[in-house]
């Protein structure tokens, strides 16, 4: 599987997740590894759609307008949006918790055929669950 962390998450985190995912034949890159820093969301969403097989991890709420939401729906991407609480956390706390969630994100990605969107809550708990998101 191919995962892309968007500009709202640090590039070093994508590299760390990539190293952790290599033994499982997964690739994780940061948006800036593939696109210019200032690439619009609609542009990179459409490009990933054309390539196919991408899963997006984002801290963005994709609430800049209907065009962005429509682009995500039409692209058929699988998207994991980090819940609002993630914005308030430090770099290291965010890294720790995303690594903790990572096996569940991979597992959920393997179960989904086609598009979908899920919110990743901050709290992991003993029975972590994703929340469906409508675009």
pLDDT at position 87: 93
Q: In a 3-state reduction of DSSP, which class is residue 75? A: helix
Question: How sure is the predictor about 113, in pLDDT bands with cuts at 50, 70 and 90?
Answer: confident
Residue whose C-alpha is closest to residue 6's, from 43, 133, 112: 43
C-alpha span between 88 and 86 (Å, rounded): 5
> Each residue of 82-92: pLDDT tens digit?
999 999 999 99
pLDDT at position 63: 62
> Each residue of 13-23: pLDDT tens digit?
999 999 999 99
Say whether pLDDT at 60 is over 90. Answer: no
C-alpha span between 76 and 94 (Å, rounded): 27
Question: How sure is the predictor about 109, in pLDDT bands with cuts at 50, 70 and 90?
Answer: very high
């Amino acid at each position: 599987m191919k995962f892309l962390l968007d500009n709202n998450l640090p590039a070093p985190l994508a590299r760390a997740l990539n190293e952790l995912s290599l033994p499982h034949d997964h690739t994780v890159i940061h948006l800036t590894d593939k696109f210019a820093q200032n690439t619009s969301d609609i542009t990179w969403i459409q490009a990933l759609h054309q390539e196919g097989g991408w899963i997006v991890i984002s801290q963005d709420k994709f609430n800049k307008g209907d065009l962005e939401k429509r682009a995500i729906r039409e692209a058929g991407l699988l998207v994991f949006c980090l819940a609002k609480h993630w914005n308030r956390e430090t770099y290291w706390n965010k890294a720790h918790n995303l690594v903790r969630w990572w096996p569940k994100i991979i597992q959920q990605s393997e179960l989904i055929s086609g598009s979908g969107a899920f919110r990743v809550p901050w709290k992991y708990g003993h029975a972590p669950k994703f929340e469906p998101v409508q675009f």
